[in-house]
Structure 1
């Protein structure tokens, strides 16, 4: 599965523009008073002004080349971004996914993940840079009822349960892209925060046109 666009909410336009545009070096596609668009590899990362006084926070992951994990860590650290550390470790191995990841926060407190999937053929000889953020490959969707949402999403978008029990946690999709459906009371890995349910719009590359609305309209997922 591939995401063509992920739209999130923010209260901090200038800070978000500086972080993703200047610090991480993503191309700015649109800079309007109410919306920001960045090109993150094959995915458009978009932010729009939050409609309430909430302080939205999300979990998203960017895929990086499988052979650039250590280089990517150094690149992020050189930009003054603190890597998340747990029990003295700042990198995390997912053996059942054959993947390695590290985490940090953006100005909104979004839990950002850079993940290298060693099953994907995406290695490169080029020095690591913003161009090596290949796509957004995960978006977290905290929900009231995981099993119900899993049923609806798998049937509508023809996805498979890639990982998880389907009751508290479900990664739907594949190594290229995953919807991370979790119980809204289940803490995020690895920082242990309780997720929040905030306005989220996801566009999925597909051959059929389909749409699912969840969480009283806060989540909208489309395939185009």
Structure 2
């Protein structure tokens, strides 16, 4: 089964630019760096990679789960360094039924979010870094047909679906929430079009039998690679990697996530 987002690889127009932002502002540790690629480790279980490319960048939406007890501190520290995005009412922090969030952008225009849920059980995962990040919670996946895409993910990957409508749904495995949306939809809070980005998502999975199940169910024409680095396949224009990790299989239940089995 899928337990979490273990990695994400994005494009950038400037390695130095992302270094200044993700290391200089967000204080993400750097694990590897070259002239054309840089790898950050926001948490022990997740790596964020940027590859420099001479091409237009379609912005990605990412949401990092922050411990509720750390959110106010994260807000103060971040707002001292950069401008947070405003909602139509002029506020930069949004409080919803189960928590709170704030949005901001990096130099490539990627739409980033820090979100904290009041009902998330603390003490299960140790908060990482300056901002108390627990894990990458959300990755936006704009597609032309979100209903077909989420059903494909449910049937092939065994994921659950929440908050579904014609143009939006969370497709969930463990702590990983893929935000499957229509390319005609706009990202809040600044009504930014949900363009299709170039990226590779690595899902952390609990065991080889799950990977075998995916492998046997896939159309062979969708498989890109199958080696020690995991099974990589195409899914609605995205590169998806399945990699076995030691992340707890029951993490969703231990964190008291509503999608826990």
TM-score (norm 2): 0.76
Task: For residue 99 of structure 1, report the CA deviation from its aligned partner.
Answer: 2.6
Runs of 4 or more, structure 1, over 6 Å off, are none
The 5-angstrom pairing of residues 72-221 of structure 1 reads 72-78=74-80, 80-86=81-87, 87-95=89-97, 98-122=98-122, 129-130=129-130, 132-165=132-165, 167-173=166-172, 176-206=175-205, 207=207, 208-209=210-211, 210=214, 212-215=233-236, 217=237, 219-221=238-240
Residues 113-157 of structure 1, C-alpha deviations (whole Å, 9 max, x = no match) = 001022222269x99943622221111010011011101111222
Residues 152-188 of structure 1, C-alpha deviations (whole Å, 9 max, x = no match) = 11122211012222x2001111682200010011011
CA RMSD in angstroms comes to 2.2
Aligned mates of 1:114, 1:121 — CA distance in 2:
17
Aligned mates of 1:175, 1:45 — CA distance in 2:
19
DSSP 3-state at the match of 1:76: helix
DSSP 3-state at the match of 2:91: coil
DSSP 3-state at the match of 2:186: coil
- If you compute each CA radius of gyration, which structure gives the higher value, 1 or 2? 2
The answer (yes or no) to whether the contact 2:4–2:173 under 8 Å persists in 1 is: no
| 5+ residue gaps, structure 1 | none
Structure-1 residue corresponding to 2:46: 43
Label 1:88 to 1:123 Cα distance change in 2 as closer, same or farther (>3 A): farther
Structure-2 residue corresponding to 1:59: 61
1:223 equivalent to 2:222? Answer: no
The answer (yes or no) to whether the contact 1:162–1:174 under 8 Å persists in 2 is: no
The answer (yes or no) to whether the contact 2:101–2:115 under 8 Å persists in 1 is: yes
Structure-1 residue corresponding to 2:26: 24
Structure-1 residue corresponding to 2:222: none
DSSP 3-state at the match of 2:79: helix
Structure-1 residue corresponding to 2:218: none
Label 1:175 to 1:84 Cα distance change in 2 as closer, same or farther (>3 A): farther
Aligned mates of 1:37, 1:200 — CA distance in 2:
14
Aligned mates of 2:75, 2:123 — CA distance in 1:
16
